[in-house]
Amino acid sequence: SIGAWCEGIANVLPPLDLDAAAGTWPVAGADAVLCVNMVHISPWDATLGLLAGAAKLLPPDAPLILYGPFLQAGVPTAPSNLAFDESLRARDSRWGLRSVEAVTAAATSFSLDQCLAMPANNLLLVFCRR
C-alpha cells in the first residue's frame, strides 16, 4: 500500500523489501530512517538490526524516527496498551511493547533527541545519529 500512496510523488522512491535484522540492507545510504509499528511486533533482534542498519546508513546528525506503543519508566501505561502487550506476547513470546529506556540503551550510535506523545497512546521517538 505504500507504493500506491506514493505513486506519482517525484521525491519518494518505491518501497523496498527490507529485513531489519539482516546484516545488509538493499540501500547504500539515507537522509533519515522512519520505522512505524515494527518494534513491538517483531523479535528484539529486529530492533537491534534496525538500530545497526540505520547506524550504517545515516550520516551524522540524521534522524532515526520510531513510532508506536512503548513503555516508559515513571509514566503509567494505558490499560489498552497493557492488554495489547499481553495479546502480542500470547501470539509470540518474542514480541511485546519495548521500553523507551531499553531501546535508547541499545541505540549506541544515536542520542534520543525527542520523545513525543502521539494519539492512541503511541510515542514518536526521534534519535539523532552521533
Question: Which grid cell is 32?
Answer: 533519515
- pTM for this predicted structure: 0.92
Q: Of all helices (H) and strands (E), which one includes residue 90?
A: helix 79-91
pLDDT over 90 at 114, yes or no: yes
Is 12's pLDDT higher than 90? no
| 26, pLDDT greater than 90 | yes
Share of the chain above pLDDT 90, in %: 92
More confident site: 11 or 44: 44
Whose CA is closest to 30, among 6, 47, 50?
50
Q: In whole angstroms, give the CA distance from residue 130 to residue 59.
A: 8
DSSP 78: P
> What span, in angstroms and rounded, lies between the C-alpha atoms of 36 and 46?
13
**98 in Cβ contact with 38 (< 8 Å):** no
Query: Does the structure show a pLDDT above 90 at 61?
Result: yes
Instruction: Quote the DSSP letter at residue 19.
Output: -
Structural element, H or E, at residue 129: strand 122-129
| Whole-number Å distance between alpha carbons of 129 and 67 | 17
Q: Could you give the angle at the alpha carbon of 62 between the alpha carbons of 7 and 18, nearest 5°?
A: 50
| Averaged pLDDT, 99-121 | 98
